[in-house]
Amino acid sequence: MRLLLVEDDIQLNQQLLTQLTKSGYAVDVAFDGEEGLYLGKEIDFDIAIIDLGLPKMDGSTLIKQLRNPDISNKQYPILILTARDRWQDKVEGLDAGADDYLVKPFHVEELKARLNALLRRSSGHSTPEIQFMDFKLNSSTKEIYVKEKLIELTAYEFKLIEYLVMHAGKVISKSVLIEHIYDQDFDRDSNVMEVFIRRIRNKLDPDKTINPIRTHRGSGYSFNLKPIKA
């Protein structure tokens, strides 16, 4: 999942970058509101973390600009970080278009849980456990079960299948998949994606019975199973 992190404190920014990258997010960072707006407008992120107290442009204004249909019209979920405890700041941020808030200081685990919940919600799922017939994905534990059997996946493999599951039914191009899974410096012309897909297919469906990933020639891939519960 591609994540935008806008936090002006260098140490906290780096700390979050490290932690979120470790958790499998492709993170782009910005240190002020203007930089955040530029990135937020240019890249189609899956989620954003925005601090309210930012230099150059405050967090609330940045969120408004990102949500404004005339400026960028971005609909990805936004989590606000705030050190200000007053409800006026929280409500202002949420009213501007954010989806959740987290007050500093916070546990990284709590932040990750909130991000997961927001991603789940944005894809229309209310619980961490998403089930498609014999296929089950838990976004909290980062585990996938097929026919009740735990499937061993690498972090990148999980990220890829998770992205497809979160956008189930939609055709996702190879370039979009690369953009949302890897960092910016990844070589987009490589055929790693085809290798990945093949490997995931073999792991998820060794008997070729459920066919979870469908290839759309020249367009991309889609998650092919029907959900049991949202």
Partner 1 sequence: MSLFYRNLIANSFILILFLSASGVFIHHIYQKDTEDFLSKQLKDNLYALLASAKENEQGNIKMPRQLPNPELNRPGSQILASVIMKKAKEQSPYRWFSLSYKNQSSLINKQKQNLFYDDKNTAGDYIFNNHPENFKQLSLNISWENYQQIEQQYTFRILISRNDIDNKLDNFEQKLKFWLGTTGVILYVIQLLLLYWGLYPLKQASLEIEKIQTGEITELDTNYPKEISLLTININKLINYSNGQLKRYRNSLGDLSHSLKTPLAVIQGYLDNNNSTHSSNEQREIQEQINNINNKIQYHLQRASIASDKPLLVKTNIFPLIQKTLNALNKVYFDKDIQVKYEQTQKNVYCHLDEADALELIGNLLDNAFKYALSSVQISIQAESDNSTHLIINLCNDTDTVKEIPVKQILERGKRLDEHTEGQGIGLYLVADIVRSYQGELDISNEDKQVCIKVKLPGNIYL
DSSP category for residue 105: S
List Cα–Cα distances, 125 to 87, 94, 135, 139, 224, in angstroms.
28, 21, 15, 11, 17
Is position 39 an interface residue for partner 1 (rule: CB under 8 A)? no
Sequence-distant (6+) residues with CB within 8 A of 148 are 136
Least Å distance between CB 104 and partner 1? 4
Is position 69 an interface residue for partner 1 (rule: CB under 8 A)?
A: no
H helix and E strand count, the chain: 8, 11
The span of 91-99, 129-137, 162-170, 210-218 binding partner 1 (CB under 8 A) equals 91-99
Q: Is 57 in the site for partner 1 (CB under 8 A)?
A: no
Give the binding range for partner 1 (CB under 8 A) out of 10-18, 37-45, 144-152, 201-209.
10-18
Among 90, 142, 174, 201, contact with partner 1 (rule: CB under 8 A): 90
Strands 26-30 and 2-6 turn out to be parallel
Are 168 and 132 in contact by the 8 Å Cβ rule? The answer is yes
Which of 33, 31, 5 is closest to 18 using CA atoms? 5
Asked if residue 108 binds partner 1 (CB under 8 A), the reply is yes
| Total interface residues for partner 1 by CB under 8 A | 36
Buried b (16+ CB within 10 A) or exposed e, 106-135: eeeeebbebbbbbbbebbebeeebbbbebb
Distance of CA 35 to the CA centre of its chain: 20
Q: How far is the CB of 24 from partner 1 (least distance, A)?
A: 16
By CB under 8 A, what part of segment 140-199 binds partner 1?
none
Q: Which of 42, 44, 95, 194 binds partner 1 (CB under 8 A)?
A: 95
Residues 91, 150, 155, 195: which binds partner 1 (CB under 8 A)? 91
Helix residue ranges per DSSP H, 1-67: 10-22, 33-42, 59-67
- The reply to whether 209 sits near partner 1 by the rule CB under 8 A is no
Answer for which of 84, 142, 174, 199 binds partner 1 (CB under 8 A) is 84
Token output for 161: 């299948």
The answer to the question of residue 24 lying near partner 1 (CB under 8 A) is: no
Contact region with partner 1 (CB under 8 A), list: 15-23, 139-147, 161-169, 207-215: 15-23
Which residues contact partner 1 by CB under 8 A? Answer: 9, 11-12, 15-16, 18-19, 53, 81, 83-91, 94-95, 98-101, 103-110, 117, 121, 126-127
